[in-house]
Structures are given as C-alpha cells and as structure tokens.
Amino acid sequence: MTAAVQESGHDPERGERTGPDEKAPVLEPRQPPEPGRTPESGRAPEPLRKSATVRDALLLWVGTRAGMLLVALYGALIVSGQSHAPLLERWKHWDVGLFRKIAEFGYDGDPNLEPDPGLPAIFPGMPLAMRLVHLVVDDWILAGLVISFVAGAVAVVALARLADVEGPAGAGRWAVLALLLCPPAVFLFAGYSEALFLAFALPAWLAARRRAWPLACALAAGASCVRITGLFLAVALIVEFVVSRIRRDGWAGWRRGAWLALPFAPLLAYAAYQHSRTGDWLAWNNAQQTGWGRKPVWPWEAFRTTWDSTGGDEGFGPMFRLEIAAAIVGVLLLVWLLLARRWAEFVYVGLQLGALVTSTFYMSIPRSALLWWPLWVLIGRAGARHRSVIIVYATVIGPLVVAMTFSFLNSSWTG
C-alpha cells in the first residue's frame, strides 16, 4: 500500500497529491480550540453566546435595580428637608394609585370617593396582574413593584437577544444598558405598566423577526391587554408580515397571516366592556379628555402649548422641556428608520409619536420612549461598533435617571 502511494503521489487519507521527487508536506498538529470557542470561526458557540447575553442582561437589570433602591433609601433616610414617608409609600405616586384603585375596586373606583372619569383610559392588564400577585403579596404597592421587577427581567433579556440578532456581537448588552440609563427608567422600577408591556412586546417582536407568527401574535395580544400601545404593535406586526411575504412569497405563508387578527381581540373586548359600563365604545379614549384634559389638536398647537409651559412654576417647566427633547429624539429616530427602510418599526414608533404630539400638550413622551425599542437597539449597535458612543451616553445621559428618580419619589411630576 505504501509503495503504491509513493508511485502515484496520491494519499487517499489526506486527499492530496505529491510528486515522486517532492516531499510530502508536513501537517502541523491542530491546536485544540480555546474553551468556549469553535475552531472554525474563533467565536463562541451559539448556545454560549445566548447564555452570555442572558447573563449580562440580567446582571444589568438586577444591578441597576439595586442602585435605584439605594437612591430611594438615600432620599428617604438622609436628604434633609424632604418627605420621610416609609420606603414603599414613596413608590405609590401618580398612576400607581390608579392601578391600585382599579385592581382593588374595579373601574367604578373606591365607593367611598367620587368616581374618577379618567380610569377607563387605563387598560386592565396591569391591574389584573396586581390583583393576581396580591393573592400572595399583601401590600398593593409591593405587588406592583414585584410585577415590574419580574416583567422587566423578561423584557431586558428579550431586548438583548433582539439587539444581538440585529448585530454586531455585543450589541445586546449595550442596548440594555442604554434603556436602563435613560432618564425615565424609574418607571421600569415603579409599579407602572411599561415593564409589563415590554415583557410581552419585545418577545413578540423577537418571535416576529424569526417568523414565528403564532407566538408573536399571542404575545402581542398580551401586550394589547396592558396598554393602548398594543394597537400600534399589532399594526406594526401586519407591516412586518407583509414585508416578509413580499421578500419571500408563498401561499402557505400568507395563510399564516390570519394570526395577525389576534392582537386586536383584547382591544375589542375592552372596548365592549367599557361600552357595557358607559354606553361609549371609545370610553378609553374619551377618558383622556375627561380625566386629563387632553384632546386631539394640530401638532403646532400642541407644540406651542407645551413650549409656553416650559417657563411654568411648581416644577413643571423642566418636565415640559424634557417632553420637547423626547419628541425631538422621536422625530430623529423616525428619520433614521425611514432612511433605513425599517417600515414596521417606523410604523410602530410613528403611530405612538403621532398620537403624543397631536394631543393638547406633550405629556408622557419620555416615558413612552421606554417602549421605543428600535432606539435602544440602535444605540446598542452603535456602542458595539464604537465603544465611545456608550461611554458618552452613560456619562452624559445616565446621571439624569437619578434626578428623575428623586423627582418621582418626592411626588413631583415626572411624566
């Protein structure tokens, strides 16, 4: 066998040919790959990369929650001249009280108080979750904090994985950091509905990007139970489905589009419920005017009213300036999404921003920006490519979250 190989110059085991006067090449022994890396690419195997993404996202979530708790303790115990209410009581302000009222008494409110005409504007997802958690957590405020903590953990993991799908590697952790250091991130800690909405919406979008439409639509239906923003998510899913079908047509795929009706079902069910109570199919929308004095106006009228309020007293002036800044960020994000031809995300953010800047005055735009995951994915991708981006963001924007946390804890309007 050896002689035959030498004459032919062909070694079937090595798959190479050598001449009779040429020495066979010496094959260097392969070095074993580094632990956790594949020899072909030098990158960590997919399961390990996913595991690292989940770990980093959860560490950032738990770490920033611990930091926010320290800020709350500092404000409650050390800062002189401020309210020294018990720690839990300092998290009950603004919408937290409305969620609790619905969870405890329903939409008719406390029978010992005057009816609150603004309650129908709040969707039932968060109050129902509070009522469920209250079965094992006796305090209503703590029940809301527990929901936000668990839901937020789900949301940041989904955001990190979504940003990693967009690439480059490492974008996920920076996207999560950008979200958690943005000024209104205090609402992800408090018993508000933003964390719960993201816990449904982000996994829904991740499933849609993977073309798992039944799962995406089922999760989006959960998001529709929590906020009216679920309507915008449902429309964006339709756009994403159509765009994906245009790129890769097929009748079997089009039939799966029937699932896209599912996220609208909770919206219709809630409208029917409020109609049974009030006789108004749009009770949730009209409650914005009766409860908060907001109604649709031309965008320039809304801007002028907000601008005139930036010099107001009682601490509202700085918040209205932040509302305008958040609206500008939203417009810039829409421009980028349009230029990048990211049609579904453009629809999702555009519908939200359009509704907010055509109201009587700007309100809760910074808080709504928490739900604009294309923004956090964009910052995460930029941070993965250029570390200076995330450094500047963390050092310049990050400290503002402490200021907004103090503002919320002292019952100042924070959006």
Instruction: Report the run of H or E that residue 17 belongs to, with start and end.
Output: strand 16-17
Contact 347, 358 (CB under 8 A): no
Verdict on whether the full-model pTM lies above 0.75 = yes
Summarised one tens digit per residue, pLDDT across range 52-69 is 888 999 999 999 999 998
- Token reading at 56: 């980093």
Q: Is 357 helix (H, G, I), strand (E, B) or coil?
A: helix
Distance of CA 356 to the CA centre of its chain: 18
Check the CA dihedral 78-187-196-58 and report its sign: negative
Name the E strands within 38-151. Answer: none
Grade residue 260 by pLDDT with cuts at 50, 70 and 90: very high
Question: Interior CA angle at 224 toward 219 and 230, to 5°?
Answer: 100
Summarised one tens digit per residue, pLDDT across range 29-50 is 444 444 444 444 445 456 666 7
Which range is least confidently modeled, 67-81, 272-286, 293-307, 388-402?
67-81
φ, ψ for residue 293, nearest 5 deg? 70, 30
Q: How many residues make up the chain in this entry?
A: 415
Summarised one tens digit per residue, pLDDT across range 12-31 is 333 444 444 444 444 444 44
Name beta bridge partners: 10: 17
- Using only the alpha carbons of the chain, give its radius of gyration: 27
Summarised one tens digit per residue, pLDDT across range 314-361 is 667 888 999 999 999 999 999 999 999 999 999 999 999 999 999 999
Question: Quick one: CA torsion of 347, 292, 145, 77, rounded to 10 degrees?
Answer: 130
Q: Which of 281, 261, 286 is nearest to 270 (CA)?
A: 281
Q: Exposure pattern of 314-339 as b/e (b: 16+ CB <10 Å)? A: eeeeebbebbbebbebbeebbeebee
